[in-house]
Amino acid sequence: MGWDHNRPLPWWWFQMKYIISINDLSQLDDAAAEDPWAIELRVDLMETCTPADLQAIRSKWKGLLLLTIRSVDEGGRFAGDAVDWKRRIKPLLPYADMVDIERRFSHHADWVRSQQKTIIASYHTEEMPGSDQLSLCERELRSYGEIPKIVVSPKKNEDAVTLLGYTIAAEKPICISIMGSGYAWLRPLLLIMGSVCAYCHAGNATASGQYHIREMREVIRLLLKSQ
């Protein structure tokens, strides 16, 4: 279900969550078997994804379903404009619980929310913004979404420290992650430091540096074992 954008989020939004991303509907059973908090359908990476497909998914998967159409500019394959984005998402929307919306498509946020869907407002960049830029980005994302998701590309260890510090201090809930495999070790640390969710896979990664959900759970277990 979606959430009233004018109301505070419930307590369970602030706990660590695992989302499995899939780029082919044949991966659904493997993803569901891992019992993630949600399954993300990377619609932009799929050859086909129809309302009938999602209806079939709903007959098998009772958990949360996140729809994502990632633009080329932010690392995906969707090359259309905002009108094309709405046209693509509209027939699928009744079957979703959450929708990822990039800033370029944000004027559709009110329409998506009117369908009782939770919005993950996202921004992905191959650059490493400073703390001030991260704050500005976060504010913009929160202006139209319940959960801001900021994915950046650290270039050096000092960037990793900046990102961890920002995650600790940021208003919650927030999702912070990284692009690429160079600093993939940051993914579990960001989750521990306050990022609300981690995007994983169940055998077929949809992004470089993504952990298998079992690996992520085990890393988190080991890191928290001493507590």
Residues in the chain: 227
- What mean pLDDT, rounded, does the chain reach? 93
* Of the candidates 199, 208, 149, the residue with the CA atom closest to the CA atom of residue 174: 149
Go through 14-47 and write b for each residue having 16 or more CB atoms within 10 A of its CB, e for each that does not: eebbbbbbbbebebbeebbebebbbbbbbbbbbe
pLDDT at 154: 97
Residue 135 pLDDT more than 60?
yes
Active site residues: 124, 149
Q: CB of 172 within 8 A of CB of 149?
A: no
How do residues 5-33 score in pLDDT, each as one tens digit? 555 555 445 578 999 999 999 999 999 99
Average pLDDT over residues 176-184: 95
CATH architecture of 15-224: Alpha-Beta Barrel (3.20)
How do residues 99-130 score in pLDDT, each as one tens digit? 999 999 999 999 999 999 999 999 999 999 99
What distance in Å separates the CA atoms of residue 215 and residue 111, rounded to the nearest whole number? 37
pTM, to two decimals: 0.92
Q: CB of 202 within 8 A of CB of 30?
A: yes
pLDDT at 225: 84
What distance in Å separates the CA atoms of residue 187 and residue 177, rounded to the nearest whole number? 6
43 falls in which pLDDT band (50, 70, 90)? very high
What distance in Å separates the CA atoms of residue 13 and residue 30, rounded to the nearest whole number? 25
